[in-house]
Amino acid sequence: MMTFHREGRSIMLGSIVIFLGLSALNYYFLASAIFGLFLFLEIGFAVLLYLIIQFFRIPNRTCGGQLQDIMCPADGKVVVIEEVEETEYFKDKRIQVSIFMSPLNVHANYYPISGEVTYTKYHPGLFLVAWHPKSSTDNERSTCVVKHQNGTEILFRQIAGALARRICYYAQTGDKAQQGAEFGFIKFGSRVDLFLPLGTKIDVELGQKVKAKLTKLGTLN
């Protein structure tokens, strides 16, 4: 069963109203005069409406992760797997795994592990394209750290893209994170970065398409 995200209610309703208005004008001015153009525009309006509505879809999925598993927090494609210096919270070297979400992907974000939320911070910023090397540090973003029951912390970051102009995040410091529970949503094209301890076994590859709550990214030590 498919549902739709609450963050999209006003946008979807407004889009339907605009679609009906444009369709009415299109019918009034072109249906009898230039039927081919009327039909072309009508199909275009319908496709655009469909793309907007499907952006906010939430598929019914059950998270199948085990206690030590790091589950994928977002639908999309793996675009980065590399060792980097994480400068905001850990201030040491970590394995960065980045997932790019196109406008066609589901854009709800989910906790990759269970534990306690030990850090959250929102950063206003730019809107560079999500695959830009500096988008992780210069774009609008939110950072969240969860501490697993074994003491290991992992950091994950929502990053706005050129089209994504609003990051919605619900995690607060002190919250109990449940693997597979929703912690946020990003509107219209974006990226999620995870920063994992060195030595973490990574189970995905560059370019691999992944699904939130279903794909295992790695295993905690």
Q: What is the mean pLDDT of residues 17-32?
A: 92
pLDDT digits (tens, 9 = 90+) for 168-206: 889 999 999 999 999 999 876 688 999 999 999 999 999
- Sorting pLDDT into bands at 50, 70 and 90, what band is 52? confident
- The domain defined by 69-219 folds into Glucose Permease (Domain IIA) (2.70.70)
Average pLDDT estimate for 30-51: 91
Can you tell me the distance from the alpha carbon of 213 to that of 221, in angstroms, rounded to the nearest whole number? 20
- What pLDDT does 189 receive? 63
pLDDT at position 19 is: 94
Q: Which residues are catalytic?
A: 190
pLDDT of residue 44: 94
Q: Using one digit for the tens of pLDDT, what is the confidence trace for 58-115? A: 888 999 889 999 999 999 999 999 999 999 999 999 999 999 988 888 889 999 999 9
pLDDT of residue 54: 83
Asked if pLDDT for residue 165 goes beyond 60, the answer is no
The whole-number pLDDT of residue 216 equals 97
pTM of the predicted model as reported, rounded to 2 decimal places:
0.85
- Does residue 13 register a pLDDT over 60? yes
pLDDT digits (tens, 9 = 90+) for 114-153: 999 999 999 887 666 655 556 666 778 899 999 999 999 9
Q: What amino acid is encoded at 23 in this protein?
A: S
CA 139 vs. chain centroid, Å, equals: 15
- Locate the domains of the chain by residue range: 2-59, 69-219
Q: Output the pLDDT for position 106.
A: 86
* Whether pLDDT at 156 is above 60: yes
- The pLDDT assigned to 89 comes to 97
| Average pLDDT over every residue of 151-161 | 92
Residue (of 114, 84, 115, 76) closest to 204 by Cα position: 76
